[in-house]
Amino acid sequence: MVNGQDTTVQDGARRTRGRPRSFDRATALEKALMAFWEHGYEATSVSDLTRIMGIGAPSLYAAFGDKRSLFEEVVRVYTDTHGAFGDRALAEEPTARAAVERMLREAAAEYTDPAHPYGCLVVHAATNCSSAEVEGLLRERRNANIAAFATRIRADVAAGLLPAGTDAGALARHTGAMIQGMSQQARDGASREDLEALAEIAMAIWPHE
């Protein structure tokens, strides 16, 4: 109380004005994901990110760290959401063949979905990237996928579901090449039907027991 006036509201207003502007972190992160997915890591600047995310640079650095830290979080989110169809197929299908067939079919749908940028963020974001750390992160993700394919194929060979002479490593790399190639084809304008046709051809080379 000052000169007979209650200063509580005035003090509260001053505190509100001095407080950093709040924002929804998950929403801002999804906007950053879309920016990196559309333009790649190198071509997406901090100023682009602050504009797209609707926050100031101090808020970005406070909430996410630097650009690379933000990108690393984006990749984790992408892997757990838009890019999770591959892991689900491997976990849910009874055989490696069924898992890869489903994965390629779902990639055809996901990579051409107009609700978001075309292709795969983990493939596209590495284009023209001059950051060795970011290149390494994305390469590690892609190689981990190929290793997961190989592990599943070897398990099917051991179980007699694929011929004993199956080259699990080569077959896994073929699958990785198809996934990565379908991503680029989608970026270049291939339709879902185009990619589904590629997936059908890719499965034709799989060995039978």
**Do residue 55 and residue 128 come from a single domain?**
no
Domain that holds residue 30: 25-65
- Write the single-letter amino acid at 7: T
Measured at the CA of 134, the angle between CA 59 and CA 182, to 5 degrees, comes to 110
Q: Which pLDDT does position 127 carry in this prediction?
A: 74
In-domain check, residue 124: yes
Q: Which pLDDT does position 12 carry in this prediction?
A: 43
**Do residue 54 and residue 134 come from a single domain?**
no
Going by the DSSP 8-state scheme, the letter that residue 1 receives in this structure is -
Q: CATH no. for residue 132?
A: 1.10.357.10
Q: Is the pLDDT of residue 126 over 80?
A: no
Of 12-26, 29-43, 141-155, minimum mean pLDDT range? 12-26
* pLDDT tens-digit readout, 128-173: 777 788 888 888 999 999 999 999 999 999 999 999 999 999 999 9
Return the sign of the alpha-carbon dihedral for residues 165, 95, 192, 197: positive
**Do residue 88 and residue 46 come from a single domain?**
no
For the chain, give the percent of residues with pLDDT over 90.
Answer: 76
In-domain check, residue 136: yes
In-domain check, residue 58: yes
**Mean pLDDT along residues 174-200:** 96
In-domain check, residue 2: no
**Do residue 57 and residue 159 come from a single domain?**
no
Q: Is the pLDDT of residue 121 over 80?
A: yes
For the chain, give the percent of residues with pLDDT over 70.
Answer: 89
Q: Which pLDDT does position 11 carry in this prediction?
A: 47
Q: Which pLDDT does position 209 carry in this prediction?
A: 65
**Do residue 90 and residue 60 come from a single domain?**
no
Q: CATH no. for residue 59?
A: 1.10.10.60
Q: Which pLDDT does position 169 carry in this prediction?
A: 97
**Mean pLDDT along residues 185-207:** 96
**Do residue 52 and residue 116 come from a single domain?**
no
* pLDDT tens-digit readout, 88-116: 999 999 999 999 999 999 999 999 999 99
Bigger pLDDT: 145 or 8? Answer: 145
In-domain check, residue 9: no
CA gap 96, 104 in Å, rounded: 12
Q: Domain ends where: 34, 65, 96?
A: 65
Confidence of residue 17 (pLDDT cuts 50, 70, 90): very low
In-domain check, residue 7: no
In-domain check, residue 1: no
Going by the DSSP 8-state scheme, the letter that residue 17 receives in this structure is H
Domain count, the chain: 2
